[in-house]
Amino acid sequence: MKQVDDHAAQSTPRPSAPASGSGRPAGETYVWVTGMGLTVGLTMIVLLLALVVYNGVSVFWPRHVALVEFQDDGATRFRDGTRALGVILIEQDRDMRDLTPEQRDSPNPADRREKQLFLGNRDAFGQSFAYFSAGDIERVSYPEEVIRAERMEWGDAIFFPIRLELQDADPIEADDPAFDSTLHKLVDEVNARRAAITRIERHAIGQINLQMRDLELEERFYSRQDALTPEQQAARDSVRDRMEQLRAKYEPLAAEAAALRAKQEENRLVYRLVTGDERSMPLGQVVHYYYPNRLTLAGRARLFAGHIWGFLSGYPREANTEGGIFPAIFGTFVMTLLMSVAVMPFGIMAAIYLREYAKQGPLVRAVRIAINNLAGVPSIVFGIFGLGFFVYFVGGNIDRVFYDRALPTPTFGTPGILWAALTLALMTVPVVIVATEEALAAVPRGVREGSLACGASKWQTIRYLVLPASAPGILTGLVLAMARGAGEVAPLMLVGVVALAPNLPVDAIFPFIHLERKFMHLGFHIYDLGFQSPDSEAAKPMVFATTLVLILLVVVLNLLAILVRNHLRKKYATDKF
C-alpha cells in the first residue's frame, strides 16, 4: 500500500499538495494538460483560418463607397478639402502617441478613434489608403452616382462621372439616360479588343518570336563558322529565307495590334474626383466598372462571383498587385503534379527494396536513419543542392550536349519548372519512403506466407498482394508529400520560381509542356506581394486572397488523393487485417 502511494507521488510531482492526496487518479492532471495543448493548437489554427478566409473573401465583396464629410473647424483635411470618397475598411483606436492632449482628454471617445478609407485613384492622390480621425467626421453618405472602375493601370478609380467623349458622336452627359448603357457597351467593346490584342501579341506574335529565336540561333551558328561548305551555305540561305518570311508574317500582325491599340484610346470618360479636380481617361483603361451604391444584393453577389472568377482566371497586372493569379495557380498545380510523378516511383521502389529485399541489419538501419534525417534538413539546403546539381550540373550538361547552338544562352542550365519539381521530389522523397515502408510492414505475414505457399515468387507476392494492400498507405504518404511540396517556397526561389513569368509552363505551342520554363507559384506570389511590392498596404487584400487560394489548392489536392485512396481501399482491402 505504502509503495503504491510512493509511486503515485512520483508520477505526479505536486510539491505543495498534501502527501495523502485527494484520492484523484495520478494521471488526471495530465489529461487536462494534454487536452489544453490540443485546445490551444486547434484554436490557433481555427483563428488563422478564419482570419484568412474572412480577409481573403471580403476582398471581392463590392462594398458601398462612402462620401465622408469633415467638420469645417476640425483638424482633419483631405487634400485641403473637407470631403473624402472611399470604402470604409476598418475603424480602430488611434495610436496614443499621435493624439493631441485635448483629444486624449476629450469626453467624446470618437476623438480617439480613426477610420481607414480605401480611396483608389492612386494616379491622382499618390496613395490608395488614408486614415481619418473619427471625431472629426461630421457626416457619412452614400451618393448613388459614384462609380468604381477597375483600370489597367493605377488600380481602381472612384469618382463622379461627368460625360463620355466619343470619337464619332456627341458627348453624352452623365445624367443622360443613355449614359450607362453606352458606357456598358463601350467597356464590353474595349474588353473584346483587349482580348484580341492579347491573342495576337501573346499567341501569334509569340509563336513567331519563338521560331525566330530558333532561326537566329542557327544563323549565328553559321556566321560563326570560318568557311562554309556549299551545303551549309544553302542551309544558311534557307534559314535567312525563312527569317524573311517570318518577318513578312510579323508585319501585318504588328500593324493589326497597333490599330487595335489606337482604337482603345478613341473614346474617353471624363470624371470628377472628390477634391473637385476634373480628369479623364481613355476607355481602353477600364476593365470593368459598377455603381457601388446602387447595387441590389443580388447584383452585389453577381459582382462578387465575377470578381472571384476574375481573380482566379486572370493574369496579374501592375507588379502583381492587381489582376488575377491564374499563372501562379497553374504553376503551383503543374509543379506539384510533376513532383508527385517524380517522387512516387523512386520513393516506392526505395521503400520496397528497404523493407522487402534488403537484409535487415546495421546498414539498412543506418540508411533508414539517414532517410529520416533527410526529412529534417532545412528546405533551403535542398534548394541550394537543386541549383548546384540539377540546374548547373545536369542542366548545364544537357545544354552542352543537346542545345549547344543556343549557348551561351542556357536552355536547361537555368532554373525552371523541371528542376523545381525534381528538387521538391528530392525533398519529399523521405516522406514517401517512410509512409510506404509503414504501409508495407502493415501487410500481415500470413498473407505473404499464404502467397508463397501458393507457389508465388517474392516479386509476385509484392506485385499482386503487398502493393495493392498497401496502396492506401502509400497514397497517404503522397498526400503528405504533396502538401509539403505545394506549400514550399524557399527552395523554389533558387530553382525556378519567378515573380512574373511571361509564359505558362504548359501551352498550345509545341511541345506543349515546356519543362525548361520558369513559372509562378502561389507561395512565392504571397511573399512577393506582401514583402516586395512598393505599396504593401494596397497588396494586403491580395495577400490574403492568394493565401486562401493556396490553402484551398492544398486542400483540393489532398481531397483528391484521399478520394483515390478510399477508392483503392474499397477495392483492395475490404477488411482491416
Partner 1 sequence: MNEASPDSAPAVDVAQAVRQRRVEVAQRKPEADADVNLQHIQVCNYSFFYGTTQVLFDVNMDIPERRVTALIGPSGCGKTTLLRNINRMNDLIDGIRHQGDILIGGQSVYDRYLEVISLRKRIGMVFQKSNPFPKTIYENIVYSLRVAGRNKKAELDETVERSLRGAALWDEVKDRLKESAFSLSGGQMQRLCIARAIANRPEILLMDEPCSALDPVATGKIEDLIDELKKEYTIIIVTHNMQQAARVSDRTAFFYLGKLIEYDDTQTIFMNPAEEQTEAYVSGRFG
Which stretches of the chain bind partner 1, using CB under 8 A?
Answer: 444, 446-447, 449-457, 460, 464-465, 468-469, 572-575, 577
Q: Minimum distance from CB of 456 to partner 1 (Å)?
A: 4
Closest CB to partner 1 among 142 and 577?
577
Closest CB to partner 1 among 73 and 575?
575
Q: Minimum distance from CB of 524 to partner 1 (Å)?
A: 43
Q: Which residues pair with 83 in a beta bridge?
A: 69
Q: Minimum distance from CB of 304 to partner 1 (Å)?
A: 48
Q: Cell 481619418, residue?
A: 132
Closest CB to partner 1 among 521 and 565?
565
Closest CB to partner 1 among 364 and 509?
364
Give the C-alpha distances (Å, rounded to integers) separating 234 from 220, 223, 237, 575.
15, 13, 5, 72
Give the Cα separation of 104 and 111 in Å (integer): 8
Residues 6+ apart with CB under 8 A from 332: 486, 520, 521, 522, 523, 550, 553
Closest CB to partner 1 among 252 and 455?
455
| Residue 577 CA to its chain's centroid (Å) | 42
Closest CB to partner 1 among 224 and 445?
445
Length, in residues, of the chain: 577
Nearest CA to 306 out of 287, 293, 328 is that of 287
C-alpha gyration radius of the chain: 32
Give the Cα separation of 263 and 283 in Å (integer): 10
Closest CB to partner 1 among 21 and 468?
468
Give the Cα separation of 67 and 72 in Å (integer): 15
| CB-count exposure of residue 50 (10 Å: 0-12, 13-18, 19+) | exposed
Helix (H) or strand (E) holding 247: helix 230-264
Helix (H) or strand (E) holding 172: strand 172-173
Return the ∠ at Cα 224 (arms to 223 and 226), rounded to 5°: 95
CA dihedral sign, ordered 241, 246, 252, 255:
negative
Q: Minimum distance from CB of 351 to partner 1 (Å)?
A: 19
Nearest CA to 459 out of 451, 447, 450 is that of 451
Q: Minimum distance from CB of 431 to partner 1 (Å)?
A: 25
Closest CB to partner 1 among 76 and 451?
451
Grid cell of 500 as nine digits: 512574373
Closest CB to partner 1 among 175 and 449?
449
